[in-house]
Amino acid sequence: MKYLFFKRVLLAVWAVWAVVAFSDAQSKREFRGAWIQCVNGQFQGMGTAKMQQTLTHQLDELQKDGVNAIIFQVRPECDALYASSLEPWSRFLTGVQGAAPEPFWDPLQWMIDACHQRGMELHAWINPYRAKTKGTTSLAPDHVAIKHPERVFMYDGLFVLNPGLPENRRYICQVVDDIVSRYDIDGLHIDDYFYPYPVAGQTIADSREFGLYNNGYQNVGDWRRDNVNVFVKELGETIHARKPWVKFGVSPFGIYRNKKSDPLNGSETNGTQNYDDLYADVLMWVNNGWIDYCVPQIYWEIGNKAADYKTLINWWNRYAGKRPLYIGEDVERTVKFSDASTPGKHQMEAKYQLHEEMRNVCGTVLWYAKAVVDNTGNYGGMLRNRYWKYPALQPRMPFIDNKAPKAPKGVKPVWTSDGYVLFWQAQAAKGWADEAHRFVVYRFGKGEKVNLDDASKIVMITGKPYYLLPYEDGKQSFTYVVTALDRMSNESKGAKKRVKL
């Protein structure tokens, strides 16, 4: 009896330890993203210097808040916030579509450099099908809707590249291939604008295309879904054929299907549906491995009658775990609504508690960056001082690459004119999958056990092979450990060096 009791106690202790150890290990890897959009006009006509100043301030504050990835909108309406020979400059940059910025600069390249300097990833965000927003009154002569009006349909003030036309799929893939080939982006991101959101009294004008390209489908809804499915698969293949390490992410609307539409797999919600209304079969993309990560926009509050946040995060956690799952969070809505269980507090703490409980949730993307920078409802402060206090590596994507690079070599502290600097070297690599892309520097005090699962010991994630040591009087001993990360954030073994500071 005593033996059995002792064994049960040991098993219980081990189970608790395992949960804690698993949680600690997981907290070291987390996608912490923020969307920076242009369609709200925040940069329009701002000018080069002012826009760079604004973006610098946003990135500096987001870095302090723990953000490790920026999703930057570069193609809102078949236009470009980057130098393109295929599409005109965006009016959301200069105020006039087709007009280049003066003084000239390339916002996408500038953002890549700025993010990489801060140890952040940069994901280029495009709207694939939208060719004109409601507020745009004129298009440049070289815009696709002007050159090929037959490839566009109108819907509630929008122009939409018709997903039923194979030439439109090829065109979008060409645009993306151009971006991926010329820019060192970490990801290519598309949002929830596939077929347009339904509006009463509006009809999608694609009956001609349905007659020509129906591929045997009798139902127009099934045909439209197939059009989007084919596009998503081809887009992912285009990206990875050019650069296998560039992550392909999708941010769908927060409801896949309501239970009344799909009693078996639907959620207890009552709203617009990806599958039925936008013709986006997101689960097919996840389960077939056509995308590399998924960010459902769960922008509602806990307790929303039509789309309860708790219901939806549980649903996505259950059904979309075959690819890294990040949650799209609405910052302003989160701090606007009270936590029903704790009057006087908003819902941020309750939502992040749900994140921790979800086995398949391994990241967050914030809508939108400026609300975090403005510290609306102390959201940024809570990230900085609690939830994202310590650095985090990106979640692994073993389906792309699961082999770690070799550990750095030649770790050595050297006195320089800039101070006491820790240097190291990356080992030779055979190809992109083995190449050291960034480095992680850990610091442990005297007597502390080296534990690379402890994110609080990370002092820097950098692309440079050196770290400026915080030298004081040379009387305290520390152990520094440097590891290498490849492009998919696989981490090498550590190279140690004891240093007196």
Cα pseudo-dihedral 14, 20, 22, 27, rounded to 10: -170
CA-CA-CA-CA torsion sign (83, 88, 91, 96)? positive
Residue with tokens 């309406």: 77
Read off the pLDDT of each residue in 402-415 and give the average, rounded to a whole number: 97
Q: Whole-prediction pTM value?
A: 0.94
Split at pLDDT 50, 70, 90, the class of 14 is very low
Q: Provide the Cα torsion 35, 39, 42, 48; round to 10°.
A: 90
- Mean predicted confidence (pLDDT) in 233-250: 98
Give me the percent of the chain exceeding a pLDDT of 90: 93
What is the arithmetic mean of pLDDT over 202-209? 97
Q: What pLDDT is recorded for position 493?
A: 98
Summarised one tens digit per residue, pLDDT across range 291-345 is 999 999 999 999 999 999 999 999 999 999 999 999 999 999 999 999 999 888 9
Chain mean position to CA 46: 26
Find the mean pLDDT for residues 473-492: 97
Q: Give the model's confidence band at 10: pLDDT under 50 very low, under 70 low, under 90 confident, else very high.
A: very low
Name the pLDDT band for 22 (thresholds 50, 70, 90). very low
Is pLDDT at 171 greater than 70 in this prediction? yes
Tens of pLDDT, residue by residue over 255-285, are: 999 999 999 999 999 999 999 999 999 999 9
pLDDT at 27: 75
